[in-house]
Amino acid sequence: MRSTILAGVVMALAIGVSGCTKPPGIGTSPSAAAERQLTFDPNLRLKWPGPPSEDSQLLNNEVGEQKHYSATFTDKRPEGVVIFSAFVDEYPADAVKQADPEELLTATVFAFKADEVSQKKFAHGPQKYPGFDILSQSDGKFDRKLVVVAGRRVYHIAVTSTKEEWLKAPEVQAFFDSLSLDK
């Protein structure tokens, strides 16, 4: 049962990250950042550089209904692209009641391990939710993502860029620093 749950987690994230969302909107530059509460999860707040495109799906499987939510904002510049994204998977209570949050976290990031440059473990917020801060590189793209497990939900907050140095930009750091899962 546990291996089925963990395999489902990896599969759901692979589907979400591979692009089953609407095309991201083009908007303001990252200097016009504003904190936004997202429709799917009122506790999830991020400082987006512009209004994100949001999408959600319900996936039915043998353990119940799984919810998948995504939000993306793309900043297109003449010299390259920066994509800000948030993916949230909520699993049925019965599917994760026996799952260890640390195992769920490890299974969630396993599929993307080949492209990782670094992975740092951390605890997020006052609840000390387990998480990873991951840097990766693949096909000329550079990626930083925070993956956090909080109860039945797995949060995947990421910035992808065509230029590695842009991952250190103040707007990108503000996006990651603004991650809040508590009221």
Q: Give me the tens of pLDDT residue by residue for the chain, a chain 183 residues long.
A: 444 444 444 444 333 333 333 223 333 444 455 556 566 666 788 889 989 998 989 888 887 888 999 999 999 888 889 999 999 999 888 878 788 888 888 888 887 888 999 999 999 989 999 999 999 999 999 999 999 999 889 999 999 999 999 999 999 999 999 998 875
The phi, psi pair for 106, rounded to 5°, reads: -60, -40
Tell me, what amino acid is at 15?
I
Are 51 and 32 spatial neighbours (Cβ–Cβ below 8 Å)?
Answer: no
Bridge-based pairing state of the strands 80-90 and 153-161: antiparallel
pLDDT of residue 29: 44
Q: What share of the chain is helix, strand, coil (3-state, %, to 5)?
A: 25, 45, 30
pLDDT of residue 2: 47
pLDDT of residue 74: 94
Determine the Cα angle at 97 with ends 96 and 102, to 5°.
Answer: 60
The phi, psi pair for 97, rounded to 5°, reads: -60, -30
First CA to last CA distance, the chain: 33
The pTM for the full model equals 0.76
Bridge-based pairing state of the strands 25-26 and 64-77: parallel
Secondary structure element (H or E) that encloses residue 176, with its range:
helix 170-177
CA 149 – CA 163 distance, rounded (Å): 29
CA 90 – CA 178 distance, rounded (Å): 21
Bridge-based pairing state of the strands 116-124 and 80-90: unpaired
pLDDT of residue 20: 34
pLDDT of residue 101: 86
All structural domains of the chain: 2-177 (3.40.1000)
pLDDT of residue 106: 85
CA 155 – CA 129 distance, rounded (Å): 11
